[in-house]
């Protein structure tokens, strides 16, 4: 056969490149919940769609070439549910998937093409950080990644933290629009060993950057799962709500049978007493298309719920006060969470729905130390730049500045109120104590009289009377109301695409 030697050489080199770190290294990490770098790509992408870029890349240092197949990072392009995506999968079996000159160039190529051609890039992260000693000295001058973390959100970035993620694996996760983390994985600026030496004490991986740190304290992990498979499935689901790029509207999906039914029983989810709590997530699921609720940052800033969902086929982003946590009072973490979600939705043409039931922002010395004032204004600055439709519904109480941040005072394009709504500058009970210096236990009869005065003109119908809300709703009308309003405020003049004023808002701040 012609070129027989070339054919054999090409096949042999391909086998070596695809063998990753070798069977021994692959075997040592083989567990039911953990995949290798190529298995992750196979699970994520449509079968047979992956086209690898840089298969024969190796370390630029001659003595390392034989031990660095693909230079520790598998990169290329494929399809996910029929749509084009770029993929960077870190291969921990090759030098801990440490970053070097060659694999940085491979990653940069995928990111650049995704940005310029308008499709998502997925990072399957697991790395020890930079590769030393080849990054030392002159190696720094060969670094081509320095300017590659500026996000203008032309197309989505999505990341999974699937092992030790230091260096670029951590940078990509924090720059992404969505980050899912497997339990047992760790993400930080530097490894526990480096940190322990710097601090002069032992620092465990979990203490440094385990899933509880990332999901509950920093908020960098948007979702926590138990296995690699679950992480990859979550990426598929998340991208199913987003357009391929910001010049397209979000994809539509068929309305599942029975989606109009749960809202008929929504009154069973809301207590009659305004002082009793409930879980707003159940309320959202009652009026959203069946099984379309997808919560983001569930473990962080829990007095605010942020979620993607669908209503009558259309994707919406929901920001809802959740009285089940801190009575719905919004702390610094909740403010950051809301701002981050606003940026996501406005960047990818997703209408925003606000559900109000909050007593205001959490106050006190600890809140001030966390910078709550600045975070409240960050939220407001982001909200005022939004160009996608904004709809707000007051479910129960809404007091003070929180009323404005949740779309009140003319900020939302449409605002309605359930007939359970109450709006005021502050909780009327608190106002009585502040203005009159009296507590209920001091003089119950007088307190109730003063409370009635403080509570005047704050009902849903009072707001409706001055067009402070456009409609007063029976809660059971919520789904139909939202169907109508989302259609009314469709961005027909721009093909359901907004202006993306928040596209270069920092991904972490």
User: Please, what is the angle between helix 280-287 and helix 478-488, to 10°?
Assistant: 70
Max CA-CA distance within the chain?
103
Identify the sign of the CA torsion 472, 478, 483, 489: positive
Regarding the domain with residue range 33-239, which homologous superfamily does it belong to in the CATH classification?
Answer: 2-enoyl-CoA Hydratase; Chain A, domain 1 (3.90.226.10)
- Whether 440 shows a pLDDT value over 90: the answer reads no
Record the pTM.
0.91
**Region of residue 135 (left: phi > 0; alpha: psi -120 to 50; beta: else):** alpha
Q: What is the pLDDT of residue 145?
A: 56
> Is there a contact between 247 and 497 (Cβ–Cβ < 8 Å)?
yes
Q: Which residues in 80-119 are b (16+ Cβ under 10 Å) and which e?
A: beebbbbbbbbbbbbbbbbbbbbbbbbbbbbbebbbeebb
Given pLDDT bands bounded at 50, 70 and 90, which one contains residue 137? very low
pLDDT category at 434 given cuts 50, 70, 90 is very low
pLDDT score, position 496: 95
CA 34 to chain CA centroid, nearest Å: 23
- Extended beta strands in 346-499, E state: 352-358, 390-399, 414-418, 422-424, 471-473
Looking at the domain that runs over 262-421+459-494, which CATH code has it been given?
3.90.226.10
| Per-residue confidence band for 144, with pLDDT thresholds at 50, 70 and 90 | low
Average pLDDT for residues 411-418, to the nearest whole number?
97
CB atoms within 10 A of CB 349: 26
Q: CA distances (Å), 10 to each of 1, 59, 74, 76, 79, in order?
A: 15, 19, 18, 19, 26
Is residue 26 within 8 Å of 20, Cβ to Cβ?
Answer: yes
Task: Band the pLDDT of 275: cuts 50, 70, 90.
Answer: confident
Dihedral pair phi/psi, residue 85, rounded to 5°: -140, 160
Residues 346-401 pLDDT 10s: 999 999 999 999 998 887 888 788 888 899 999 999 999 999 999 999 999 998 88
Q: Report DSSP letters for 228-277, one per residue.
A: HHHHHHHHHHHHTTS-SSTTSPPPP-PPPTTTTSGGGGGGGGS-SSTTS-
């Amino acid at each position: 056969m012609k070129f027989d030697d070339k054919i054999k050489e090409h096949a042999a080199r391909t086998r070596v490149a695809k063998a990753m770190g070798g069977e021994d290294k692959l075997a040592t990490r083989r567990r039911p919940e953990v995949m290798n770098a190529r298995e992750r790509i196979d699970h994520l992408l449509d079968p047979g769609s992956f086209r690898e870029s840089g298969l024969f890349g190796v370390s630029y240092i001659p003595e390392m070439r034989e031990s660095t197949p693909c230079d520790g990072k598998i990169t290329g392009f494929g399809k996910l549910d029929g749509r084009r995506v770029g993929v960077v999968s870190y291969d921990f079996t090759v030098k801990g998937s440490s970053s070097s000159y060659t694999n940085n160039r491979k990653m940069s190529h995928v990111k650049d093409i995704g940005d310029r051609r308008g499709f998502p890039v997925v990072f399957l992260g697991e790395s020890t950080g930079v590769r030393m000693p080849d990054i030392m000295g002159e190696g720094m001058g060969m670094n081509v990644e320095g300017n590659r973390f500026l996000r203008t959100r032309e197309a989505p970035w999505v990341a999974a933290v699937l092992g030790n993620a230091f260096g670029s694996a951590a940078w990509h996760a924090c720059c992404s629009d969505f980050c899912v983390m497997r339990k047992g994985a760790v993400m930080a600026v530097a490894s526990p060993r480096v940190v322990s030496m710097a601090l002069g004490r032992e620092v465990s991986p979990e203490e440094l950057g385990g899933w509880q740190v990332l999901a509950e304290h920093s908020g960098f992990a948007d979702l926590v799962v138990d296995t690699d498979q679950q992480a990859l499935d979550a990426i598929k689901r998340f991208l199913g709500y987003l357009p391929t790029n910001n010049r397209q509207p979000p994809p539509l999906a068929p309305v599942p049978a029975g989606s109009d039914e749960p809202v008929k029983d929504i009154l069973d989810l809301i207590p009659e007493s305004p002082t009793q709590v409930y879980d707003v997530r159940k309320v959202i699921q009652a009026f959203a298309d069946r099984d379309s609720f997808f919560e983001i940052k569930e473990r962080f800033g829990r007095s605010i719920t942020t979620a993607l969902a669908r209503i009558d086929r259309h994707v919406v982003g929901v920001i809802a006060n959740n009285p089940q946590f801190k009575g719905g009072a919004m702390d610094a973490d909740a403010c950051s969470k809301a701002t981050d979600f606003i940026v996501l939705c406005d960047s990818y043409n997703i209408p925003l729905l606000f559900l109000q039931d909050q007593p205001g922002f959490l106050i006190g010395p600890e809140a001030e130390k966390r910078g709550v004032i600045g975070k409240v204004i960050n939220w407001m600055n982001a909200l005022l730049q939004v160009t996608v439709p904004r709809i707000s519904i007051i479910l129960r109480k809404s007091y003070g500045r929180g009323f404005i941040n949740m779309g009140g005072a003319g900020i939302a394009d449409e605002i309605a109120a359930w007939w359970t709504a109450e709006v005021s500058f502050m909780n009327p009970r608190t106002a009585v104590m502040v203005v009159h210096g009296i507590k209920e236990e001091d003089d119950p009869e007088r307190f109730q009289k003063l409370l009635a005065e403080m509570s005047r003109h704050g009902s849903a119908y009072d707001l409706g009377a001055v067009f402070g809300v456009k409609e007063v709703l029976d809660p059971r009308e919520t789904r139909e109301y939202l169907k109508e309003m989302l259609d009314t405020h469709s961005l027909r003049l721009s093909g359901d695409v907004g202006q993306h004023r928040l596209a270069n808002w920092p991904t972490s701040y």
